Structure 1
């Protein structure tokens, strides 16, 4: 990912920047500014939310292939020992829906495909076989943590079939609350479209697929400031392929009528992004 900030410009030419762009614009992109805090928080919500869907898809695919009769098949597909994760299905057959599926990651911490550590339970209600258009599932959490962030979620995923590019796609509506280890909170409501771009040579294993994401969200950052977000239609977010970070794409965040454009780079798997506001660009680290 290209760095959008010349360190020497800030270190040696601060006074010149104040004349050219105004000190206020510099302050808007300081590490504690509402714009940059909202940018970091939105990145975290997006990464965690997509990873939860990815994790749910992995086990639901395994369960579906076994007619929902054997949770061990879902674990075997993912290369997980039965003592690490417990999966239960209230109606273990391929006929009766809706079904409630509980994925229990335990309390000691389980490391997933994208190197995130999970604790607690995902409780998933599925309305039909997920290969059926308009079938959906809803994810709720119970004492669920991702990398020591407590995650409260009500997330509904609807399979819409294939789009005009012959790619499968899903709509997602989510209400997220993330409580960080320091007890600050991020809240977010989002509406997104998730399109699968590549299966990366493993059609039976969804965990390494690549997706694009478009949509909008509104929320409150860890400073208690409200924000809104719109993903660039021409530069959707690119996630997946076992990378725990957003790899590419652009979005615009608005806080108190001020805007910042976030650019996640060229597709490299790293935790860097750039924020641009008022002609000033700053590189920052995302988290998940």
Structure 2
């Protein structure tokens, strides 16, 4: 694609998750677009996509890759695991500053993943706060609820829940999580909310434990509301693709609808670059360039 027609700054947190870094040791950070001729809500929603993607990565690998001693058998009170019984992260995704604990009751297992202030993850992002994963002790119920409590990525604060059904192998043999999203994110533009559904599939690399070779596709739809109460419905009309070897989403289309008018953002043809194409409701086409930028304080 031709670049430099329109420059866009991205303002959110790193993407290691469902579509983050080139080797998942890098990430897209701070994805808020400067508005200019780009519709303001589209710009802001694009920034929140980056934050949510990072959060998705943490919940995905917490669900699929954490091994706790005696996690699925026996009963215990809430316990902080000593170093010799530290949770084993098969994916290699979690930074060394991560703290893990578990609680097993008659019916549920609760895994708490917490990060102290100024914890630096493997993407160089500053994170803090807590993610709590709750799952039932059942051979048939694959539902997990991830609750984010002041989970902060480069100054962007996430609160809310994601309720997922984790499938180790779908009909194509790939791992996936699917379910509902109900989160708020504090941004430079105020607190915004995102409510909807989301499906993330590891389409390549799911047969290894490491996160570094995972290619992901993302589909879903949601309602996005900014701090002023402006809303827009958003649907991923062509699956978003985040390869392991690129820090950007390289394919896929999002369609935005407001007051019966639609616009779309096309992430590209599979080429690893930082350019997307926005087509507004009146037919105006603008190329945008994604840049790394952290939230201002």
Report the TM-score when normalising by structure 1: 0.74
How far apart are 1:38 and its partner, in Å? 2.0
SS in 1 for 2:51: helix
Give, in angstroms, the shift of residue 282 of structure 1: 1.1
| SS of equivalent to 2:218 | strand
Q: Which has the higher contact order (CA 8 A, sep 6+)?
A: 2
C-alpha change, 1:208 and 1:139, in structure 2 (3 Å) is farther
Considering only aligned residues, what root-mean-square deviation do their CA atoms show, in Å? 3.2
Three-state SS of the structure 1 residue aligned to 2:35 is coil
Match of 1:25 in 2: none
CA distance in 2, matches of 1:216, 1:140: 20
Task: Give the number of the structure whose residues are more often helix, by fraction.
Answer: 1
* SS at structure 2 position matched to 1:229: strand
2 CA distance for matches of 1:217 and 1:167? 24
The answer to whether 1:71 aligns with 2:95 is no
Q: How many residues align?
A: 253
Q: Tell me which of 216, 231, 235 is aligned to 2:221.
A: 216
Aligned 8 A contact 1:227 1:255 in 2? yes
* Superposition deviation, residue 254 in structure 1: 1.1
**1:105 matched residue in structure 2:** 115
Q: Distance in 2 between matches of 1:179 and 1:166?
A: 37
Which segments of 5 or more consecutive residues in structure 2 lack a partner in the other structure?
A: 7-32, 72-80
Residue 88 of structure 1 aligns with which residue? Answer: 101
What residue in structure 2 maps to residue 36 of structure 1?
39
Q: What is the 5 A alignment of 1:1-288? A: 2-3=1-2, 31=35, 36-64=39-67, 66-68=69-71, 70-74=85-89, 77-78=92-93, 80-81=95-96, 84-91=97-104, 97-112=107-122, 114-128=123-137, 134-160=141-167, 162-180=169-187, 182=188, 184-199=190-205, 203-206=208-211, 208-232=213-237, 235-239=238-242, 241=244, 245-277=248-280, 278-286=282-290
Counterparts of 2:235 and 2:93, CA distance in 1: 34
Provide Cα deviations, 1:197-241, integer angstroms capped at 9, x if missing partner.
0017x7012454111111111121355311001111xx2011352
In 1: Cα distance, 2:62 partner to 2:175 partner: 18
Structure of greater Rg = 1
